[in-house]
Amino acid sequence: MKPLCLYSLILLICFLLPASNSFSAGEKYALNLWGAKLTSNNWDDFFGKPHKLNYVDSKIFIVSLAKRLGKQHRRLNYEIEGQLGKHSGIQNHWEINGLGVARWEPFFWDRWIDTSMAFGLGLSYATEKPKVEILNEGSTEKWMIYWMMELAFDLPQHPQFALITRLHHRSEAYGLMAEEGGSNALAIGLKYRF
């Protein structure tokens, strides 16, 4: 692992440490199950050109466990999350991701449909160099930066269950991890809070 990658991980951990250790009432863990279809698009195409997404013959199925670390500013939760994913299609490897997550909770429409928005950043390890990343970018590495964006929706009367959608992104981080590589996937799944 490159030294800058190690420094980035230390910085991420230090960013999460100031979070309060006092939990508000409610769940502290979340189990997420989701599936995603990989694309040949860049991540920003998901926002600027969603009608032009080009899906490739590759899927990933992921189970993840998240733990809430604390809350700051009455609106922002901090979490850590570990993911284990299995690819299928033109690639057939395993993917392991670890990340820190910041989750924004309150929205004015929460009494009808409770919504949260999250961004996570960490490291990704693929057991093989992903073929989709090689096809899309020319080359890749097993270790990459990982980030995700998530929207979660649940009914206020059933807050333990949520429908989630995610943008799943492996990145060379502008040369930090690799000269080329990276992939994007659009995911949908379920979250169970306990």
Cut 0.95: pTM above it: no
Which tokens belong to 81? 């999350």
Residue written as tokens 């609106």?
A: 75
For 144-157, letters b (16+ CB in 10 Å) and e give bbbbbbbebebeee
The 3 state secondary structure assigned to the chain is CCHHHHHHHHHHHHHHCCCCCCCCCCCCEEEEEEEEEEECCCCCHHHHCHHHCCEEEEEEEEEEEEEEEEEECCCEEEEEEEEEEEEEECCCCEEEEEEEEEEECCCCCCCCCEEEEEEEEEEEEECCCCHHHHHHHCCCCCEEEEEEEEEEEECCCCCCEEEEEEEEEEECCCCCCCCCCEEEEEEEEEEEEC
Express each pLDDT in 7-20 by its tens digit.
555 555 544 444 33
Residue 119 has pLDDT above 80, yes or no: yes
Mean pLDDT for the chain?
A: 86
**Residue 34: which of 192, 193, 194 has the closest Cα?**
192
Mean pLDDT on 52-77: 91
pLDDT reported for residue 19: 39
**Residue 105: which of 162, 157, 49, 61 has the closest Cα?**
162
Express each pLDDT in 24-46 by its tens digit.
456 799 999 999 999 987 777 77
Q: What domains lie within the chain, and their CATH numbers?
A: 3-16+27-193 (2.40.160.20)
Express each pLDDT in 74-118 by its tens digit.
789 999 999 999 999 999 999 999 999 999 988 999 999 999 999
